[in-house]
Amino acid sequence: MAGQGRDSTAMKKDVEGYIHGVSEIKTPASGNRYFDFKIQEREESMHMVCFCPEKRNEIKDNEITKSPVKLLNVTAKKRKYEPDSVKYTMNNRSKVIREKNMAFPWNTVHEKEQHTVEEIKESSINDLVSITAKVVWKGTTESMYSHTMRKTLLKCEAIIVDATGSIKAKIWENMIPNITEGHSYLFQQFKVSFFNIKFVNGIRESVINEIEDIEIPEEIHAAAQQLKPKEKECSNLTGRVLGVDVSFTLVCVNCRSRITDSDDQFVNCGSCKTTFLKEFVKKTVSANVMVIDENNENKGRFYCSNSVLNSMFESIKATKIYNIKETDDAKLSRKMIVETLLLVKKVLFEVVSNEKLMSSMQVAQ
């Protein structure tokens, strides 16, 4: 049988320690139930996600009795944007062994009532934190499609500060109207996350309550301005596609992790180690396109998201001279996508030059 495209960043290992903070079983929109907890190792406590709900009672018992355990067949995977950090996951092949002895003692994993920005920046990914802070910048509300939730969500980025520093915050859905620039709040149950830099991320359990204004040193205000995203340099141009590099990404049916596409009829998830027939795995498409203007001047290479590509194929379908009936690019072959884009002779592009991003692409009438 051909290779199944295993994730080279994932490896199996055994983990020894003590169990803390076992959550209730959670059921996301994907229907793939899981629970999480912390495993106290010798030097630190790590976040663990278990995709086998049947193991919860056993793991919870070991938390209650403070028993040392060895977790066998745990998947340790380096995080994509923070290679020094490891994500631990368990599945139905993992085992829980109660140990008689452990070389280090059980310690309390403290959940502080409140944190400072400085402390949050030293926290581990997935830690839950609460902070009293002022909103010094609130961005525009944007929509994005969540593969985990299987729906479009509203998102807003903000910059919050306290006396120790500044940090970005992501606010979602109904929480967005709850914050106003220049006001102070108690942010509770936010998750420490990472994408290029650490930030605090709102989750379902997050709560935001307005409080009396807090005083912030002027130097903190000044430093916070550096976190603001650069203004987008949008421009329109007419031309055509010079070159295309198409990428297919598969999303695991079980744990929602991303799977690299392969030519085999089977695909294997590097996170939960489940193998699927590829035809039953949801696929998303993106592309990098090189663009020339009407004077054949190369304007550079731009990233096209799945939504931009779908919109382009809707535009092609609406143009009578092209015989394209399928507009869902995930159902088209790589060859069809590439050749169709290259053969459209006149295209209207909207690009964000400083981010090398294609925000719109339509057939020019």
Residues 137 and 122: their CA atoms lie apart, in Å, by 23
At 97 the pLDDT is: 95
Residues 319 and 128: their CA atoms lie apart, in Å, by 51
- Sorted by sequence, the CB contacts under 8 Å of residue 240 that are 6+ apart come out as 291, 292, 344, 345, 346, 347
Mean pLDDT for 125-154 is 84
Angle between helices 306-317 and 334-343 (to 10 degrees): 60
Whole-number Cα distances in Å, 95 to 2, 98, 123 = 29, 10, 28
26 and 90, same domain (yes or no): yes
350 and 241, same domain (yes or no): yes
- Rg (C-alpha) for the chain, rounded Å, is 24
Please, what is the average pLDDT of the chain?
86
Give the DSSP letter string of 329-364: GGGS-HHHHHHHHHH---EEEEEEGGGTEEEEEEE-
Residue 166: helix, strand or coil by DSSP?
A: strand
The token pair that represents 110 in the structure block = 């403290």
Domain end point (choices 98, 131, 155): 98
Domain that holds residue 66: 12-98
Provide the domain count of the chain: 3
The token pair that represents 215 in the structure block = 């005083």
pLDDT band for 293, please (50, 70, 90 cuts): very high
221 and 292, same domain (yes or no): no
239 and 218, same domain (yes or no): no
CATH number at residue 182: 2.40.50.140
Given the structure tokens 């995203």, which residue do they identify? 229
> Comparing 232 with 329, which gets the higher pLDDT?
232
Which of 65-74, 250-259, 267-276 has the highest mean predicted lDDT (pLDDT)?
65-74
Q: Indicate whether 109 belongs to any domain.
A: no
**How much is the pTM?**
0.57
95 DSSP β-pair partners = 72
- pLDDT tens per residue, range 173-225: 999 999 999 999 999 989 999 888 899 999 888 999 999 999 999 999 999 99
Cβ burial 109-138 (10 Å sphere, 16+ → b, else e): beeeeebbbeebbebebbbbbbbbbbbbbb
46 and 150, same domain (yes or no): no
